[in-house]
Amino acid sequence: MERIMVGSATKVAFNLLVTFAIVIPCLEAGIAEFDDFLKAQADEAQKIALEAYVPVPEDVTDELNFHVHLSLENSTRRELRQRKGRSGKKCVASNPIDTCWRCNKNWANDRYRLAKCGKGFGRRATGGLGGPIYVVTDNSDDDMVNPKPGTIRHAVTQRGPLWIIFQRSMMIKLNQELMISSDKTIDGRGANVVFRDGAGLTIQFVNNVIIHGVRIKNIVPKEGGMIRDSYNHVGLRTKSDGDAISIFGASNVWIDHVSLSNCADGLIDVIQGSTAITISNCHMTKHNDVMLFGASDSYSGDKIMQITVAFNHFGQGLVQRMPRCRWGFVHVLNNDYTHWMMYAIGGSSGPTILSQGNRFIAPNNNAAKLITHRDYAEPQVWKNWQWQSEMDLFINGAQFIPSGSPIKTTYKKGLLMKPRDGTHASRLTRNSGALNCIVGRPC
How many Cα neighbours within 13 Å face the side chain of 369?
A: 10
Q: How far is residue 348 from each of residues 143, 175, 188, 305, 366, measured CA to CA in Å?
A: 41, 34, 35, 14, 24
Active site residue 321: yes
Sequence-ordered list of residues with C-beta below 8 angstroms from that of 268, at least 6 positions apart, any chain: 243, 244, 245, 247, 255, 260, 279, 290, 291, 292
| Burial group, residue 1, by CB count within 10 angstroms (0-12, 13-18, 19+) | exposed
Are 368 and 339 in contact by the 8 Å Cβ rule? The answer is no
Separation between Cα atoms, residue 93 and residue 106, nearest integer Å: 16
Separation between Cα atoms, residue 48 and residue 307, nearest integer Å: 16
Which residue of the set 196, 321, 324, 420 is catalytic? 321
Provide the sign of the torsion angle of the four alpha carbons 75, 394, 391, 266, taken in this order: negative
Are 326 and 351 in contact by the 8 Å Cβ rule? The answer is yes
| Burial group, residue 228, by CB count within 10 angstroms (0-12, 13-18, 19+) | buried
Residue 214, SS3 per DSSP? coil
How many Cα neighbours within 13 Å face the side chain of 241?
A: 20
Residue 365, SS3 per DSSP? coil
Active site residues: 321
